[in-house]
Structure 1
Amino acid sequence: MITLPPPPLDLLRGAALFLDFDGTLVDLVATPDAAAVDDALAALMARLVVALDGRVAIVSGRPVEGVRALFGNADFTISGSHGLEIAWPDGRHDRVERPMALDRIVTRMKAFATAQTGVLVEEKPLGAALHYRNLPAAESASTDLARSLAADAGLQLQTGKMMVEVRVPGADKGTALAAMMAAPTLAGHRPVFLGDDDTDEPAMVAAAAHGGAGILVGAVRATAAAYRLRSVAETRTWLTAATERVA
């Protein structure tokens, strides 16, 4: 496995910054609802927005409204649901329609979770996920169920860290990054994407394709990233220092 260097502190000069949330800006916790934005992170995001003239976006598997609830009145772009929706600072909200099949899928998942104590169901506007981080032994059964539900409904199977999701197809974090880079405020700038999960790899590839770079957060693995930070704490420290360098 190739060892990736840490990103240089001047990487954000002239850049557009794209940030995953869970596992990148905050550590993974027992349940998705338990995640929180502390004062230090809120202040860091505010400094980034100012230093980069608004060229900052959160790119998450969480729905847009879920990210907004965490940050409050965010003055940055938010891409949610694995690229299926984008909320812009001017109030526009691009998204696809929710298929009715998701209601049936949620019902099946909840019945499964009731029988598998420790498995959690996360309902989303454009998907439904099974989280087995509290019951790793349920990985195989969770994946089998999700794969079957996705195939029956013609939806996409999305895997990730200790979770599996059935969601609307047609987008990913890479297509979201490309769509945001086409916006006048971001076009012509070099994208830098930070993420930790397999779901972040399309955005790593897209960042490189647009002349930028990806930064892997966490353990070494196969990745399209050019740089690596070892943890959420190290990521926040680097973002703070890189922001100061830009300012």
Structure 2
Amino acid sequence: MSSLPLPPDLDALDREGPLALFLDFDGTLVDIAPTPDGIAVPAELAQALCHLRDRLGGRLALVSGRALDDLERHLGPLAIARAGSHGSDCRAADGTVLGAAPAGLPETLLAAIHDFAASEGFDTEDKPHGAALHFRSNPSLEGKGLAFAEHFASEHGLQVKRGKCVIELVASGADKAAAVRNIMQAAPFHGALPVFVGDDVTDEDGMRAAAELGGFGIAVGERPSDNARYSLESPAAVQHWLGL
């Protein structure tokens, strides 16, 4: 169990001043699954998120490692601010691009990553900003995958992002801190108190940016966090706190 306290009531926080809420997806709003496509998304989640957006005066954003079209495949089209591909693809609620569009990896690099994955037993996932090595079906592959990713990243000027049984190679500048900063510059978020809720190490960037802008982070699940002020034990607890 986390040693961090539970967060204050959401509506009470919003009454203290405008609140801007940033939510991770996998492991935060929905439970982690053995494969990225294996998640179970409650049928009412999309509508509930739209209601939450309205409660917050539009200041709700989803920030995910998934590509935006992948998020839409699971949730449907949502008129909610969102950032996919670890923050490298940011959109306002109306779909307007915020910041620069994500830069994908060259085909030669993607082919090399696929060759490694096929030879070592990883599952791969191509993304607009890079590629992911999944090893949930065989956690013992973590060390081998990380060694490959760090060497490959240093050779090609990439960044390594680690998550729960996933290692990603991404173009430089793809992180959730950038997503928070980009979205917070736009209406209706500008001037509000940012709160970032996430379950994984990649969410620490978003929490750090929220804290730098006067807000705070909420860690989900039993894990250490250097940047969270509060914690919630599971996606079910997150949904309850949000009133979904």
Normalised by the length of structure 2, the TM-score is 0.91
Aligned counterpart in structure 2 of residue 167 of structure 1, from 151, 165, 170: 170
Alpha-carbon distance, 1:47 to partner: 1.5
- What is the distance in 2 between the residues matched to 1:168 and 1:89? 25
SS in 2 for 1:187: coil
Counterpart of 2:212 in structure 1: which amino acid? A
Q: Matched residue pairs, number?
A: 239
Counterpart of 1:219 in structure 2: which amino acid? E
RMSD: 1.9
SS in 1 for 2:87: coil
Per-residue CA deviations over 1:103-155 (Å, capped at 9, x if unaligned) read 223322322333334x2101101110101111111001111121222122211
Alpha-carbon distance, 1:26 to partner: 0.7
Is 1:58–1:79's contact at 8 Å kept on the other side of the alignment?
yes
Aligned counterpart in structure 2 of residue 128 of structure 1, from 127, 131, 139: 131
- What is the distance in 2 between the residues matched to 1:138 and 1:25? 27
SS in 2 for 1:16: strand
Per-residue CA deviations over 1:23-79 (Å, capped at 9, x if unaligned) read 100111011122243223223212201101211100111112211222212010111
- What is the distance in 1 between the residues matched to 2:2 and 2:46? 34
Residue 52 of structure 1 is matched in structure 2 by 56
Per-residue CA deviations over 1:200-239 (Å, capped at 9, x if unaligned) read 1111111112121111000041321110000111111111
Counterpart of 1:92 in structure 2: which amino acid? T
Residue 68 of structure 1 is matched in structure 2 by 72
Is 1:105–1:128's contact at 8 Å kept on the other side of the alignment?
no
Aligned counterpart in structure 2 of residue 205 of structure 1, from 196, 204, 208: 208
Is 1:136–1:162's contact at 8 Å kept on the other side of the alignment?
yes
1:222 maps onto 2:225 in alignment = yes
- What is the distance in 2 between the residues matched to 1:184 and 1:19? 18
Aligned counterpart in structure 1 of residue 109 of structure 2, from 105, 130, 137: 105
Alpha-carbon distance, 1:176 to partner: 1.1
SS in 2 for 1:38: coil
- What is the distance in 2 between the residues matched to 1:151 and 1:204? 26
Residue 237 of structure 1 is matched in structure 2 by 240
- What is the distance in 2 between the residues matched to 1:99 and 1:207? 27
Is 1:216–1:223's contact at 8 Å kept on the other side of the alignment?
no
Counterpart of 2:13 in structure 1: which amino acid? L
- What is the distance in 2 between the residues matched to 1:212 and 1:222? 16
Counterpart of 2:158 in structure 1: which amino acid? L
Alpha-carbon distance, 1:81 to partner: 1.1
Counterpart of 1:212 in structure 2: which amino acid? G
User: Cα 1:128–1:195, aligned 2, differ >3 Å: closer, same or farther?
Assistant: same
Q: Mean Cα displacement is larger for which, 16-25 or 90-99?
A: 90-99
Residue 143 of structure 2 is matched in structure 1 by 140
Normalised by the length of structure 1, the TM-score is 0.90
Is 2:13–2:19's contact at 8 Å kept on the other side of the alignment?
yes
Residue 177 of structure 1 is matched in structure 2 by 180
1:156 maps onto 2:159 in alignment = yes
Alpha-carbon distance, 1:100 to partner: 4.8
User: Cα 1:139–1:29, aligned 2, differ >3 Å: closer, same or farther?
Assistant: same
Structure 1 stretches of 4+ moved >4 Å: none
- What is the distance in 2 between the residues matched to 1:162 and 1:177? 25
SS in 1 for 2:115: helix
